[in-house]
Structure 1
Amino acid sequence: MSSPKKEVEEDEPVTPAGRMFLQPEMDQVINCAIGLQHPIDLQAFKEAIKKSMMVQHPRFRSLYVKDKHGREHWRKVKEVDIDKHVFEQSITKDDVCKVADDDEEVVNEYLADLAVSSPLKTDKPLWEIHVLRDQKCLILRIHHSLGDGVSLMSLFLTCCRRVGHPDELPNIGPALTGGIKDTTSIFAKVWRLVLVSLLTLVFVLKFILRSLWVKDEKTVISGGYEVELWPRKLATAKFKLEDMKLVKKAVNNGTINDVLFGVISSGLTRYLDMRSSKEIKEGHQFTGLAMVNIRQQPGLQDLSDLMKNESLSRWGNQFGFILLPLYHHKDIDDPLQYMRRAKAMLDRKKLSLEAHFSYRIGKLVMSLLGPKVAALLNYRVICNTSFTISNVVGPQEELMFAENPITYLRVNSTSLSHAITMHMVSYAGNADMQILVAKEIIPDPQVLAKCFQDALLEMKDAAMGAKIQ
């Protein structure tokens, strides 16, 4: 009689964010495509997985279970059966897309199908890997309840080694250090506190209204109720980090995120002008929903720090949502103006506590009203906005897994009620953004991807011209 009792005592409750992602309305799976340079040795790959930190991590060796009261828990399994998690998929261009010209399109079509119709089974830990041998690609599928982009990328890096240095782990960048003397005047501190309070109040109020009834005006890129069930297409917008860094230097205190949202604003403007049968009014707002890491330390994390209970950078889904209002401005002579407008908006968002509020209020709603209500409110916010965007900083050095060099890292997720979801990951000097669309609404995602790529190149040319002057 003591054995079952002991097993129940060892069960760990699912976090509030994890419970929301496990709801049918928000059942989110992260799909990460990992391109490899050489053909895949399946046996060597499985052996590398068995020895990796991934299968030793508590979340990756636990079943999702419910007790008799319906409460969700993680229950550890004694041993992970790799053969139940790793599948070899033999696909050809004709199997997936008859018009596919190359392996990239085959992989993207395969990912688009996974985004709609392939939930993870709950009779095993909530992850699996699809091996596309012909395309030299691995599809790592991880349920969002296991962790967010920062957590999962930090764990993935522990499974990799540096190219040319097979015994060395990747660098994750310098940690933040304290001890810097604050020389800000009392007046400046008070004024900053006033700004933080006012901006937080305004943005929080707007966020609440979005979850109730305020919505974007309908356009040719709008999604809505049950659009998450519609068939998908996937395209990749490819950027050079060197180009993005050149553009960010053209504006004082610019960041990569400022460049990214300037590119999205410019790209969506030109795409709307191409697609819309009626003229879009100047200043038309299309609102994005972005996920923001709320850990004290930004960027990639050391896995040992993530796993400490007392750490300020804990493992899990430690992010909040913010609303990103972008505007249709087609009569702009200077392409950098899109970035300047985006930067002004992001600077105000950074000063507010909108992301922290959305995270805390989500936990409160989960605790008081349960995951179904929390998922419903989140679903309404998505239905009332125009797109989802996330940006995860990846490693900037070339890595290898199972002694096979990685050529690219690309991420997308289970489809949402948005007609457009965008996920960007940087790796080894490149930044690839996966654009997942409802194909009945946006039949030409490759055109949309080119709009984004052309927007960055125009900003680059403008930045170089400004530098010469």
Structure 2
Amino acid sequence: MAGPGTFSDEPLTPAGRLFLQPETNIVIHCILRGKSPINVDSVKSNVESSIMVQHPRFCSLLVRDKNGFEHWRRIKLDVDKHIVIIKNRLDKSGNFLDSQRISGDEDEEEDEAALNLYVADLSVSSPLSTDKPLWELHILVAHKAALFRVHHSLGDGISLMSMLMAGCRRADDPDALPRLTPEKKTVESKGSKGRNCFWLLGALWGFLKMICFTLIFATEFIFRTLFLCDRRTVLTGGDGVELWPRKLATAKFLLDDMKLVKKAIPNTTINDVLFGVVSSGLSRYLDHRTPNAMHEGLRMTGVAMVNLRAQPGLQDLSKLMQRNSNARWGNKFGVILLPVYHKGGNNPLEHLRRAKKMVDRKKHSLEAYFSYTIGDLVMSLLGPKYACWLNYRLLCNTTFTISNIVGPLEEITIASSPVSSIKVNTSSLPQALTMHMLSYNGRAEMQILVAKDIIPDPEFLAKCFEDALLEMKEAALGILKD
């Protein structure tokens, strides 16, 4: 590895500068749990030989020049400074025990609760040190788990998950990279002049809808950022809430259940099902916390990230690291607003129908590109402080943040060790509720990070989401049988 002074300093991207502002100083957390005890020396050796340490962002210091502008400066990387080894077990209260016993299957729930508490504490109290490149690997030996912490200025979830997958292999084929989507069969299509005519009419109608929906959603985005805010509920955060203590819980879903639900309504996607589950789950939670309040029709606005790269899903890492690639490394995502409405009644699929209708309209708009362009323009013309202020205002005026990343279809291994689960989340935001879902090996786990003084029972909220999916499944089975 080259030493200091060999490379010239490289300026940060506008998004990288945004994520270094105090109010938006965000760290991405990735929790990996193994099936077998962790060999620390093997993990360290694997990190030292990985493609990660060859990437400039992971072996560069953040420095500021005399004018206060941030730059990346390449240094000789010392992996030992980035690896934190914790040998003792944690209990459900986050206290270290004297025992270093490796957990067994009977301690699965206890392990998960302890790990969630550990990550929740880091989400508020432990920013990454700027005296080394902005990443860490925490190895919790007794829990057979590892926590990968990466500053958001180094890249977004797509970039970082693509890098992680590049170092993994399929458990059933040690020479193969993980698969994220099933192989599709190519189907030959037979066209005709009549069909071409209908295609042109459809394209024109689609263009008109895109213009209309983009104007509507862009206007709403501006108003929501500057002064419109959600009505206060027991889920509402606000200015300064990013500094409040956190709790973390996990909602667990089976992908087969989500796929069955989406069959009940034509042309429905997994994302539609997820947003329907969130809508139903939040309605259930509000009815539980404030049973006598009038919630019907209440709007709760979510902030969702949309990957803007030409190729959807996780990326080929070699392409991400090319400077002129359309699927470039870094933070390449836009933001859309997702309104979720409280709705009672006995039809659990009504939440899904409303979510699908809303998401379909968002897909016909350029809202995500608009938000990305506006943020880039404000950053370039006015600087990171104003861009941070606008981003912070948007988060304060909305109720939650949500993201969904597609993970490996099959079980994977890291350093020849099988992985039992992968979960992701970020450090705290001014919202009291953030949700991040990642699918893996037929399951989907959603990390629910809350401000515990506002939402004291995230475990119950997680159950609300799980029960919502199960009720949708039962309703979908009834429709499919008919």
Band of TM-score, shorter chain: over 0.9
Moved more, 261-270 or 65-74: 65-74
Give yes or no for the alignment of 1:87 onto 2:107. Answer: no
CA distance in 1, matches of 2:364, 2:405: 21
The 5 A counterparts of 1:412-431 are 412-431=425-444
Give yes or no for the alignment of 1:26 onto 2:37. Answer: no
The residue type paired with residue 205 of structure 1 is T
The 5 A counterparts of 1:356-395 are 356-395=369-408
Task: Please state whether the residue corresponding to 1:347 is helix, strand or coil.
Answer: helix
Match of 1:35 in 2: 33
Question: Out of 148, 151, 163, which is 1:155 matched to?
Answer: 163
Give yes or no for the alignment of 1:290 onto 2:298. Answer: no
Match of 2:47 in 1: 49
1:53 shift after superposition: 0.9
CA deviation map 1:50-100 (0-9, x unaligned): 1111111111111111111111111111x32111001112342166069x9
1:174 shift after superposition: 7.5
CA distance in 1, matches of 2:424, 2:402: 12
Match of 2:73 in 1: 75
Task: Please state whether the residue corresponding to 1:452 is helix, strand or coil.
Answer: helix
CA deviation map 1:227-257 (0-9, x unaligned): 1111000000000011101111111100000
C-alpha change, 1:59 and 1:188, in structure 2 (3 Å) is same
CA distance in 2, matches of 1:58, 1:172: 26
The 5 A counterparts of 1:138-149 are 138-149=146-157
CA deviation map 1:146-196 (0-9, x unaligned): 11111111110111111143233223448999x998945333222221111
8 Å CA contact retained: 1:159, 1:401:
yes
The 5 A counterparts of 1:57-136 are 57-77=55-75, 79-89=76-86, 90-93=88-91, 96=94, 102-136=110-144
The 5 A counterparts of 1:184-203 are 185-203=199-217
8 Å CA contact retained: 1:173, 1:300:
no
1:10 shift after superposition: 1.5
CA distance in 1, matches of 2:290, 2:267: 35
Task: Please state whether the residue corresponding to 1:96 is helix, strand or coil.
Answer: coil
8 Å CA contact retained: 1:163, 1:405:
yes
CA deviation map 1:351-389 (0-9, x unaligned): 100000000110000000001110110000000000000
8 Å CA contact retained: 1:172, 1:301:
no
Match of 2:251 in 1: 237
Question: Out of 278, 282, 285, which is 1:271 matched to?
Answer: 285
The 5 A counterparts of 1:154-173 are 154-173=162-181
CA deviation map 1:329-358 (0-9, x unaligned): 112x22111111000000000110000000
Task: Please state whether the residue corresponding to 1:134 is helix, strand or coil.
Answer: helix
The 5 A counterparts of 1:312-391 are 312-331=326-345, 333-391=346-404
CA distance in 1, matches of 2:300, 2:207: 30
Task: Please state whether the residue corresponding to 2:300 is helix, strand or coil.
Answer: strand
CA distance in 2, matches of 1:114, 1:278: 36
Task: Please state whether the residue corresponding to 2:143 is helix, strand or coil.
Answer: coil
Match of 1:401 in 2: 414
The residue type paired with residue 76 of structure 1 is R
The residue type paired with residue 323 of structure 2 is N
Q: Normalising by the residue count of structure 2, what TM-score does the alignment of the two structures yield?
A: 0.92
C-alpha change, 1:208 and 1:405, in structure 2 (3 Å) is same
Q: Normalising by the residue count of structure 1, what TM-score does the alignment of the two structures yield?
A: 0.95
CA distance in 2, matches of 1:173, 1:186: 31
Match of 1:451 in 2: 464
C-alpha change, 1:171 and 1:277, in structure 2 (3 Å) is closer
Equivalent residues, number: 461
CA distance in 2, matches of 1:201, 1:353: 9
CA distance in 1, matches of 2:388, 2:121: 24
1:140 shift after superposition: 0.2
8 Å CA contact retained: 2:27, 2:150:
yes
Question: Out of 439, 447, 464, which is 2:452 matched to?
Answer: 439
CA distance in 2, matches of 1:437, 1:173: 31
CA distance in 1, matches of 2:479, 2:291: 36
The residue type paired with residue 413 of structure 2 is M
CA distance in 1, matches of 2:151, 2:89: 24
Task: Please state whether the residue corresponding to 1:388 is helix, strand or coil.
Answer: strand
CA deviation map 1:385-407 (0-9, x unaligned): 00000001111111111111000
CA distance in 1, matches of 2:443, 2:183: 23
The residue type paired with residue 56 of structure 1 is Q
CA distance in 2, matches of 1:45, 1:312: 32
CA distance in 2, matches of 1:85, 1:362: 32
8 Å CA contact retained: 1:129, 1:140:
yes
Task: Please state whether the residue corresponding to 2:217 is helix, strand or coil.
Answer: helix
1:201 shift after superposition: 0.6
Match of 2:270 in 1: 256
C-alpha change, 1:278 and 1:436, in structure 2 (3 Å) is same
The residue type paired with residue 162 of structure 2 is S
